A and B are shown apart, each in its own frame.
Chain A
Amino acid sequence: MTDQAQEIAQLDRMIHEPARLTIMLILDGVSEADFLYLQREGGFTQGNLSGHLTKLEDAGYVEIEKKFKGKVPLTLCRLTGAGKAAFAGYSQRMMGLLKGNGSAG
C-alpha cells in the first residue's frame, strides 16, 4: 500500500460523502444556519438533508437546536468544536493529497 493510498484510507468517511461534505462546507463558513437555508444552498431534498444531518449529529460534528425566533420555528444547525476540528483535519489531508498529486497548488 502506497503512502497516498494510506492517506486516502485515513480520510474521515463521515465527511467524505459528498452531501455531508457540502453540509460541512456550508456550516464552516457561518455561525449557524437553519434547515431551510441548508436545504436550498445544498440542493437537498428534506429527507436527504434530514438523514445526513442526523448522521453528522450522531458523530458529534453538528449540533441541532430547535427554537423559535419570535413565532417562527427554526431548526438551527452549527458545527461543534469536534466538527470544526474534524473538518480542518479532513481539509488539510485532502489538500495534501491533491497537492502531492500535482492537482492543487
Chain B
Amino acid sequence: MRDDSPAQTASYGRRAAAYWFVDGLPEILLGLVLVVFGALAMLWRIGGPGQLRRFDFAVFFAGIILYGSLGRRFLDFLKLRFTYPRTGYVQPPEEDEWRVETMTTLDLRHRPPARENVTSFHLRTELPIVFVAFLWSSDWSSGGSEIGRWYAPLATIALAAALYGLNRRSEHPYRWWPALILALVGLAFLWVDVPGPLRHPLPLLLAGLWLAVQGAYTLLHYLRANPQPQRAEGVKA
C-alpha cells in the first residue's frame, strides 16, 4: 500500500503544507458533519411538520454553516489534544501570501505552490460537496419536483470522481480504490429504491461516511505511529 504521509514528500514547505492532514481530523470532522446533518435533514423530511418538510435542505445547510464558522476552531481544539503534543505544531503561510508571488526565482528556498496550502482542503474537498448540496437547494427553488432514481448514483459517482481527481496532485491524495468503492456504492442505488425526497441527501451522506472512515483510518495510523510523549517539549533558550 502506498504511503501518502508527508514523510514521503520532499521539501520542508510541502511537508508543512501537508501537515494539516497528517492526523485525519479534518476529514473526520467534515465527514461527521455531513453524516449527522444529512441524516437530520432526512428525518426532517420524513417527520417534519407539514409544508416545512420542504426545508430539509435548510437543516443540512445549518450544519454546513456551523462547520464553516466553528469548524476551524473545533479542529484546533482537537489538534491541541491529539496532534501538537505528539508531533508538534506548524502553521503554513496563508494561501494569499503565496498568491502575491508571481515571479519564480532560482534559489534554495522551497516555495510550496499556493494550491498546496492548508486551504486546499476547502477548495478540493469541501467545494465539490457544497456544490452537490446546492443542487439540492436549487431543486427546492424550482418547486421541489421529485427527482429520478438516477440522481443519487450519478451525484455520488461525480463526487467520488471529483474528490479523487481534484486531490490527485495535492499533498493529500485519496487512493483510487476507496474512490472506486464510493462510486460503486453510489451506483448500487440504481437498484435500491430510495424514496424520492431522500435522494438528495444520500450522496452527501455517503461522501460524509467515506470521508469519516478515511479520516479514522489515518488517525488510528497516526496515533499508533506517534504515542503520547511523557513530558512536554520546550526550548531552554
Q: How far is the CA of A50 from the CA of B13 in the complex (A)?
A: 22
Q: How far is the CA of A21 from the CA of B109 in the complex (A)?
A: 11
Known: A32-B91, A95-B108. 7 other contacts (CB 8 A): A26-B12, A29-B92, A36-B88, A39-B88, A40-B87, A57-B237, A69-B89
23 A-B residue pairings within 8 Å (CB atoms):
A25-B109, A28-B109, A29-B12, A29-B16, A29-B109, A29-B111, A29-B112, A30-B92, A30-B93, A31-B94, A32-B90, A33-B91, A34-B84, A34-B88, A36-B85, A37-B87, A37-B90, A49-B235, A53-B235, A72-B85, A75-B233, A77-B235, A95-B107
Q: How far is the CA of A92 from the CA of B5 in the complex (A)?
A: 31
Q: How far is the CA of A53 from the CA of B150 in the complex (A)?
A: 60
Tell yes or no: A91 within 8 A of B by CB.
yes
Chain B residues near A92: list those with CB within 8 A. Answer: 105, 107
Quick one: CB contact mask for B213-237 with A, threshold 8 Å, 1 for yes?
A: 0000000000000000000111111
Question: Which residues of A does B touch, CB under 8 Å?
Answer: 25-26, 28-41, 46-47, 49-50, 53-54, 57, 64, 66, 69-70, 72-77, 87-88, 90-92, 94-95, 99, 104
Question: Which residues of B does A touch, CB under 8 Å?
Answer: 11-16, 19, 76-77, 80-81, 84-85, 87-94, 97, 105-112, 232-237
Determine the residue in chain B with the shortest Cβ distance to A37: B88
A70 touches B108 (CB 8 A): no
- Could you count the A-B residue pairs with CB atoms below 8 Å apart for me: how many are there? 117
CB contact under 8 A between A29 and B13, given known A34-B90, A74-B84: yes
How would you classify the secondary structure of chain A's contact residues: helix, strand, loop or mixed?
A: helix
Q: How far is the CA of A73 from the CA of B110 in the complex (A)?
A: 28
A39 touches B91 (CB 8 A): no
Q: How far is the CA of A76 from the CA of B110 in the complex (A)?
A: 20
Nearest 5 A-B pairs (CB), nearest first? A29-B13, A37-B88, A36-B88, A91-B107, A91-B108
B84 touches A72 (CB 8 A): yes
Chain A residues near B112: list those with CB within 8 A. Answer: 29
Q: How far is the CA of A26 from the CA of B111 in the complex (A)?
A: 11
CB contact under 8 A between A88 and B89, given known A26-B12, A31-B94, A53-B235: no
